[in-house]
C-alpha cells in the first residue's frame, strides 16, 4: 500500500570566516523552517568537515535534524566512522541522520592518494562498512570478518542516543546500490549516475529516476513503503524567464540548457511553477514501477 509521506526539506552552509557566522547560518536554516541541516564529505575548500560542521550547527539550534550528506566510505575506517557519527548524535541530543555513500569523485582520490576501487568493490565494501557501523552502535561487543574489514570483540563507543540507531541515508542511481539501499537504508537519495569526474547531471530525467526507484521497489518488496525517497536539487531560481536561468545553470554545471530544463533536479520558474515541479517529482518517485 502506498504511503502518503510529507515532504521534508534540507539545506546547508558553506564555509564561513568564523564560528559565529556559521552558527548564524544554521539558526537561519532552522528559523526558515527547514527540516534538516546537511553537510557534504569532500575535500573542497568551500565546506567544513562533516563532524565539526554538524556539531557547530547542533550547538546553535534546537530541533533541526543534522545530516551527513554523505560520508564517503573510502575516506575512513568504519570503526572510526561509527565513533564519529555516534558522537555527533550524542552531542546534538539525538538529531543525526547518518548518510553514507560509496564514493565517486576521482579528482579527490588523485589528490589524496586514496585508492578509488571499481564500482563493485566500492559497493561491497560499503555493505561491510554498514554492517560494522550498525554492529558497533549495538549494545554488545562486535566481531566481523569480511573481505574488506575485520573487527574483533570491539565495544563501540559512544553509543548513539537514537535507538536502535540513527536513520541511515544511502544515495545512488544504479541497480546494485539500490539493492543495497533496499535492505539497509531508511532514506534513499535518487541521484544522477556517477562518472569518474563527477555525476552525470544530464542523465537526471524522469525516466532515469523512475528506473532507479523501480529497482529499489523490486529489491525492497514490502519494505518499500517504509523507505523515504530523496532528491538532491542542484539549483533553484524564482524567475519569469526560466530559459535564461537555464543558461546560467548550464554554464555553472557543465550541461546544456536543454538538459537543465528537462531535469527535475533544477527548479526554475515562478513560485507556483516550482511547487508544481516539486509535487511532480514526488509523483515520479512514488509512482515508479
Handedness of CA 45, 77, 73, 6 (dihedral sign): negative
Q: Indicate the angle between helix axes 119-137 and 78-91, nearest 10 degrees.
A: 50
With a pLDDT cut of 70, the percent of the chain lying above it is 92
DSSP code for 230: E
pTM of the model: 0.92
Is the pLDDT reported for residue 264 higher than 90? no
C-alpha cell of 10? 534540507
**216/285 Cα distance (integer angstroms):** 10
Which numeric CATH code is attached to 1-164? 3.20.20.30
Domain boundaries, the chain: 1-164
| Cα separation, 229 vs 225, whole angstroms | 10
Rounded-to-integer distance, Cα 213 and Cα 218, Å? 9
**Residue 6 dihedral angles phi and psi, to the nearest 5°:** -70, 155
DSSP state of 99: E
Are the C-beta atoms of 36 and 64 separated by less than 8 Å? yes
Q: Are 154 and 141 in contact (CB under 8 A)?
A: yes
Residue 277: pLDDT over 90: no
Q: Average per-residue pLDDT in the chain?
A: 91
Question: Which pLDDT value is given to residue 263?
Answer: 87
pLDDT (0 to 100) of residue 204: 73
Give residue 1's pLDDT. Answer: 47
Residue with cell 538529531: 95
**pLDDT, position 284:** 57
Mean pLDDT value of segment 269-282: 89
DSSP secondary-structure letter at 157?
S
CA dist 92 and 105 (Å) reads 30
Cα separation, 68 vs 75, whole angstroms: 14
Amino acid at each position: 500500500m502506498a504511503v502518503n509521506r510529507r515532504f521534508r526539506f534540507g539545506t546547508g552552509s558553506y564555509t564561513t570566516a568564523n564560528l559565529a557566522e556559521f552558527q548564524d547560518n544554521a539558526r537561519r536554516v532552522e528559523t526558515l523552517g527547514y527540516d534538516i541541516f546537511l553537510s557534504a564529505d569532500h575535500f573542497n575548500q568551500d565546506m567544513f568537515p562533516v563532524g565539526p560542521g554538524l556539531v557547530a550547527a547542533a550547538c546553535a539550534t534546537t530541533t533541526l535534524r543534522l545530516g551527513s550528506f554523505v560520508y564517503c566510505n573510502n575516506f575512513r575506517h568504519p570503526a572510526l566512522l561509527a565513533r564519529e557519527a555516534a558522537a555527533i548524535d550524542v552531542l546534538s541530543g539525538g538529531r543525526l541522520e547518518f548518510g553514507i555513500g560509496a564514493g565517486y569523485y576521482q579528482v579527490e582520490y588523485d589528490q589524496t592518494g586514496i585508492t578509488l576501487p571499481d564500482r563493485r568493490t566500492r559497493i561491497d565494501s560499503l555493505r561491510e562498512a554498514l554492517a560494522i557501523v550498525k554492529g558497533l552502535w549495538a549494545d554488545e561487543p562486535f566481531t566481523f570478518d569480511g573481505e574488506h574489514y575485520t573487527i574483533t570483540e570491539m565495544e563501540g563507543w559512544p553509543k548513539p542516543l537514537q535507538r536502535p540507531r540513527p536513520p541511515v541515508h544511502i544515495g545512488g542511481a544504479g541497480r546494485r546500490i539500490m539493492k543495497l539501499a533496499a535492505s539497509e537504508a531508511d532514506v534513499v537519495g535518487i541521484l544522477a549516475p556517477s562518472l569518474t569526474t563527477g555525476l552525470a547531471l544530464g542523465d537526471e530525467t524522469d525516466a532515469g529516476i523512475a528506473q532507479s526507484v523501480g529497482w529499489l521497489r523490486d529489491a525492497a518488496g514490502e519494505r518499500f513503503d517504509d523507505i523515504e525517497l530523496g532528491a538532491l536539487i542542484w539549483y533553484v531560481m524564482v524567475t519569469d524567464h526560466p530559459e535564461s536561468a537555464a543558461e546560467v545553470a548550464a554554464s555553472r554545471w557543465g550541461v546544456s540548457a536543454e538538459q537543465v530544463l528537462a531535469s527535475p533536479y533544477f527548479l526554475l520558474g515562478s513560485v507556483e511553477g516550482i511547487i508544481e515541479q516539486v509535487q511532480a517529482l514526488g509523483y515520479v518517485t512514488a509512482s515508479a514501477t
